[in-house]
Amino acid sequence: MKERFHFLFIYFSFWVVYFIAARVLFLSYHIDQTKLLTLESIWGVFWHGVRMDFSMAGYLSLIPFFLLSFSNFIKKSVFEGIIYGYTFIIVIILTLIVVVDLEVFNVWNYRLDATPLNYLKTPLEAWASVRSSPVFRLILSYFLLLLLANYIVYRILANNINSWNHLKTKPFIFISLFVSFALIIPIRGGFGIAPMNQSTVYFSENNFANVSAVNASWNFFSSLVNKTYIKTNPYIYQPRDVVEQNLAELYKTNEKSENWLKQDARKTNVLIIIWESLTAKSVGLSHHGVEVTPNLNKLRNSSLYFSNIFASGDRTDKGLVAILSGYPAQPTYSIIKEPNKAAKLPVLTKDFQKIGYNTEFYYGGETEFANIKSYLFTSDFNKIVDVNDFPEDSLDTEWGVHDEMIFSKFLNDHSFQKKDPFFSTLLTLSSHEPYDVPGPVKIKGSDEESLFLNSLHYTDDQLGRFLEKAKQDPWYDNTLIIILGDHGHRLPDNGNKFDNFRIPMFWTGGALEKIENFQKVGSQIDLAKTLLSQFKLNSENYNWGKDMSSEYNPWAYFSFNDGFGFAKTNGQLLFDNVGKKVINKTESISSKDITRSQALQQKTFQDYLDK
C-alpha cells in the first residue's frame, strides 16, 4: 500500500511543480515588469499562488486517485497506459494554455480566460490578430515544455507502477477512496467558507504581482465553467438606493444644448468613421522623425476636436455598441455576442430612419467576426457592405480589404446626389494586427510599435485623401463627419495606463458650425445622446450617455477584463474587481469618486444581466 500512496504523492506533486514552473516562465516572459517587483513581492507571488496550484492539481488528480482505488483489478500495463494517456492529453492542453497566456497578458493585459474562444468562430481573423506576436518563439516554447513535462511523467509512472504488489482489496479501496475525496480540501483552497477564486491569491498593492500569482489553467477553466451562464451580479458594492443616489449625482446636467451645426439638422447627412485602434497618444506624435497622423494633426485646428474622450472598452465589438447604442462595455462579456440582449438596445440607425434617413454600414472585413453581423441586422441598417462585396483578388490583407478600398467604395456609392439623407458608419481595419499595410513604409522599423504606428499613418493618409475627394462631391457641404477610435491601444507605451483607453474624436464636414478644441472629459457612450441632441431628436433611451453640448458633469467610465476605470477633469482611477481594490489612481481621486464609479460598475452590469 505504501508504494501506491507514494505514487499519489508524487503524481500530485508533479502538477504542483509544473504550475510553479509555469509561473517562473510567466515572470521571465514579462521580465520588464518582474524587475520592478521587490523580493518580498516575488516571494508572495509563489507563496500565495501555490494555493491555486494545489487547487488545480487537486482537480487533475481526481481521476488517477479514483482509478488507483481499483488498481488491484487492472493489469499494471493497462493501468499505466490509462494514467499516462490521461496525463499526456492534459499536459498537451495545459501547456497550450500556459504558452498562450504569456502573449495574451502581453497584448491584453489580463490572464487568459475563455474570452478568446469567442473569436475562434472566425479563425482567419483570429490568426490575423495574433500574427504580430512572436509565434515561432511561442511554438518552440510549447514543444520544449511539452517534451520535458511528458518525459518527467513517463519516468514517474515507469519508476513506480512496476513495483506494485497485490493488496487486500477492501481496506485499500476504502482508504484510497477516502484520500480521493480528501482532494476537495486543496480544490476548495482550504477549510474556509469561501471556495477558491482569484481574489484568494491576491495579496499586493501591485497588480502585476497579483495577476502573476493566478494559475493560468485554473483561471481559464474557471472562466469557461463558471461564467458562461452567469445570472447574478458579481459586482455588488452598495445598496440599491445608494447606487441610485451616486448615479444621480454623476448625471446632473443643464439640459439646454448649444448648437454645433450650420443648418437644419434634420437634412444633414451623418458619416461616423470608426477607426481601428485609434489612440489619442498617436495624435501629434512623431516617431523616427515622421508624423504618425499628419492629417489628423491638421484637422485639430479646423474641426471640433475632442481631446479627452475615453473608449468604453478594449475591443471593437464593445466600441461599436458604445458608439451606436450609447451602451457601456462589460468587464468580462460583450453584449453584442448575445443577440437576444443586443436586440433590446437603442441604436442610432433606427432613430434616423424614423426621420427618413437611409442607413449604411461599410467595413472591409468579415462582419461575422465577434457577432457584429447580428448586431447590424438587429440595428436595421438598410445597406451593409463588407468583404463579401469585393472581388476575391482584391483581398490584400488577412482581414479583408485595406482602408483605401473601403473609402473608395463609399465615395463611389455616393458619387451622385441621393434623394434621402444618409446616416452611414464606416469601420476601418488596416491598423489592426498584424499591421501589414500596403504601399511604401513611412515609419520604418520591424518592432511592433513601429509597425502599429506605420499602420496608423497609412489609414491617416487614406483618410486625408478621402476627405479631399469628398469635398468635391455635392453631399459634403451638407454632411457632418465624425471620426473616433473604436478603442485605444497599449502602444506607444508611455507608462500611463489610463492613456490606453483615451481616444480622439473629431467632428468635421461642411455642415459643422463650431470649431474648437473641446477639452472636457467625455466618453464614447456620450456620442449618441450628443448627436441626437444636435438633431433635436428624443434621446431618453440613451440613458447611460451625457449630452456633451450641454453643461454636463465631465466624467468617463470604461471597463476592462474584470475591472473598470473612471476619469474626471483632474483625476483618474483603475479598480480591480477581483481583488476589490484600487490598483492605480491620481491624488485628486476622492473616496466619493470611488463609490460613484463602483455604482456605475454595479448598475451597468445589472442592466446587462436584466436585458
- 203 with 272, same domain? no
Q: Is residue 561 part of a domain?
A: no
Predicted confidence at residue 556, as pLDDT, reads 98
Predicted confidence at residue 128, as pLDDT, reads 67
Helix (H) or strand (E) run with residue 269 in it: strand 269-275
- 294 with 428, same domain? yes
For the chain, how many structural domains are there in total? Answer: 2
- 274 with 145, same domain? no
Instruction: Find residue 306's DSSP bridge partners.
Output: 505, 518
| Calpha distance 123→608 (Å, rounded) | 28
What percent of the chain is modeled with pLDDT above 90? 64
Confidence band for 96, pLDDT divided at 50, 70 and 90: very high
Is there a contact between 559 and 331 (Cβ–Cβ < 8 Å)?
Answer: yes
Q: Is residue 249 part of a domain?
A: no
Residue that is last in its domain, among 211, 226, 241: 226
Task: Quote the domain boundaries for residue 406.
Answer: 259-552
- Cα atoms in the 13 Å half-sphere on the side-chain side of 148: 12
- 208 with 330, same domain? no
Q: Considering only 224-228, 319-323, 546-550, 606-610, which range has the smallest mean pLDDT?
A: 224-228
Predicted confidence at residue 194, as pLDDT, reads 60
Exposed / middle / buried, residue 512 (Cβ in 10 Å: 0-12, 13-18, 19+): buried
Is there a contact between 508 and 527 (Cβ–Cβ < 8 Å)?
Answer: no
- CA distances 271 to 309, 409, 411, 481, Å, are 19, 14, 12, 5
The CATH number of whichever domain residue 522 belongs to comes to 3.40.720.10
Cell of 520: 472636457
When pLDDT is averaged across residues 459-485 and rounded to a whole number, the result is 96
When pLDDT is averaged across residues 178-191 and rounded to a whole number, the result is 83
Is the pLDDT score of 117 beyond 90?
A: no
Instruction: Find residue 397's DSSP bridge partners.
Output: 400
pLDDT digits (tens, 9 = 90+) for 305-338: 999 999 999 999 999 999 999 999 999 888 988 8
What percent of the chain is modeled with pLDDT above 70? 91
Is the pLDDT score of 449 beyond 50?
A: yes
When pLDDT is averaged across residues 501-524 and rounded to a whole number, the result is 97
3-state helix, strand, coil in the chain (%, to 5): 50, 15, 35
- 84 with 18, same domain? yes
- 435 with 307, same domain? yes
- 115 with 185, same domain? yes
Residue that is last in its domain, among 510, 537, 552: 552
Does the bond joining 346 to the residue before it have cis omega, within 30 degrees of 0? Answer: no
Cell of 504: 480622439
When pLDDT is averaged across residues 433-449 and rounded to a whole number, the result is 93
Is the pLDDT score of 412 beyond 60?
A: yes
Q: Is residue 579 part of a domain?
A: no
DSSP secondary structure code for residue 264 in this structure:
-
Is the pLDDT score of 476 beyond 50?
A: yes
Q: Is residue 567 part of a domain?
A: no
Predicted confidence at residue 562, as pLDDT, reads 84
Confidence band for 160, pLDDT divided at 50, 70 and 90: low
Q: Is residue 28 part of a domain?
A: yes
- 173 with 56, same domain? yes
Residue that is last in its domain, among 532, 552, 572: 552
Helix axis angle, 240-250 to 591-610, nearest 10°: 110
Is the pLDDT score of 451 beyond 90?
A: yes
- 126 with 273, same domain? no
When pLDDT is averaged across residues 374-378 and rounded to a whole number, the result is 89
Task: State whether the Cα torsion 388-390-395-396 is positive or negative.
Answer: negative
pLDDT digits (tens, 9 = 90+) for 236-285: 999 999 999 999 999 987 778 899 998 776 789 999 999 999 999 999 99
Confidence band for 228, pLDDT divided at 50, 70 and 90: very low
- 296 with 381, same domain? yes
- 208 with 269, same domain? no
Residue 184 CB neighbour total at 10 angstroms: 11
Is there a contact between 576 and 583 (Cβ–Cβ < 8 Å)?
Answer: yes
Is the pLDDT score of 174 beyond 70?
A: no
Predicted confidence at residue 226, as pLDDT, reads 62
Confidence band for 515, pLDDT divided at 50, 70 and 90: very high
- Cα atoms in the 13 Å half-sphere on the side-chain side of 247: 18
Of 420, 435, 469, nearest to 295 by C-alpha is 469
Q: Is residue 263 part of a domain?
A: yes
Q: Is residue 167 part of a domain?
A: yes
pLDDT digits (tens, 9 = 90+) for 531-564: 999 999 999 999 999 999 999 999 999 999 889 9
Helix (H) or strand (E) run with residue 318 in it: helix 316-325
Mean of per-residue pLDDT scores for the chain: 89
- CA distances 470 to 4, 49, 108, 405, 407, Å, are 78, 57, 36, 15, 10
Instruction: Find residue 584's DSSP bridge partners.
Output: 574
Helix (H) or strand (E) run with residue 323 in it: helix 316-325
- 217 with 285, same domain? no
Q: Is residue 603 part of a domain?
A: no
